A and B are shown apart, each in its own frame.
Chain A
Amino acid sequence: DQQVKQNSPSLSVQEGRISILNCDYTNSMFDYFLWYKKYPAEGPTFLISISSIKDKNEDGRFTVFLNKSAKHLSLHIVPSQPGDSAVYFCAGADSGGGADGLTFGKGTHLIIQP
């Protein structure tokens, strides 16, 4: 039972354009969401997060949008740069659920074309 779903295994975007990565979740208890970026042979690195009291959070070129009614979040990268080519993981957590970590999606491989 996948609680966090990233339905696009890969996404190709032209440099300078907007990249939109999508994520759906099924666990109603999740109220905190994160995006991680992962390069090959490295550990995931934290990118941006959002709590359910917000519907948008921005950090430079990265913006995360949360639609609680649809149980959907998206990560926008504007403008896309070659260094953004990586695997992006969406994760959800129940902030009142204690220490049992994050539940991750399977990831989306973003490829930025020159």
Chain B
Amino acid sequence: DAGITQSPRHKVTETGTPVTLRCHQTENHRYMYWYRQDPGHGLRLIHYSYGVKDTDKGEVSDGYSVSRSKTEDFLLTLESATSSQTSVYFCAISRGAPGQGYEGSGAFFGQGTRLTVV
């Protein structure tokens, strides 16, 4: 299994509070992603990073910010959590951009963080 650790694994927080989720990798992969999974929506990209301090927005980035100060860590921050951000959050890593260079160049996912905003 790819070395990806998400923390915390579970969190309950109150509406309006800031929350930071951490993704840590030991694979030295260049690309890192944050997805959320919701019933009826599958997996949707929030933000991604293509290198240290290089990040960009995904499909559902409103209300989220990210930072990547080291290759191994990618942080997702909810500045002021809302109930609509209750979800399961997955971090993923990949050596290269999907499809570039070789077959099987998919993204590898962490175990997920279940976040509940009450």
Contacts and interface: CB of A to CB of B under 8 A. Distances in A.
Given A31-B99, A93-B99, A95-B99, A43 B112 contact: yes
Q: Which one of B35, B40, B43 has the greatest number of beta carbons of chain A within 10 Å?
A: B43
A6 B110 CA distance: 23
B59 to A, nearest CB: 8
B98 to A, nearest CB: 4
A42 B112 contact: yes
A44 to B, nearest CB: 5
Q: Which one of A45, A98, A99 has the greatest number of beta carbons of chain B within 10 Å?
A: A99
A37 B76 CA distance: 24
A89 interface: yes
B110 A43 contact: yes
Interface extent on A, as a size class? 20 to 34
Contact of A46 (B58, B97, B104): B104
Nearest to B45: A101
Interface in A92-114: 93-95, 97-107
Interface string B7-41: 00000000000000000000000010101000011
Interface in B52-72: 56, 58-59
A36 to B, nearest CB: 8
A46 B99 CA distance: 13
A109 B80 CA distance: 33
Interface of A: 6, 31-32, 34, 36, 41-46, 49-51, 57, 89, 91, 93-95, 97-107
Q: Closest 9 CB pairs between A and B?
A: A32-B99, A95-B99, A43-B109, A93-B98, A99-B50, A106-B42, A46-B106, A104-B43, A104-B42
12 contacts: A49-B105, A93-B97, A93-B98, A93-B99, A97-B97, A99-B48, A99-B49, A99-B50, A101-B48, A101-B58, A102-B107, A104-B42
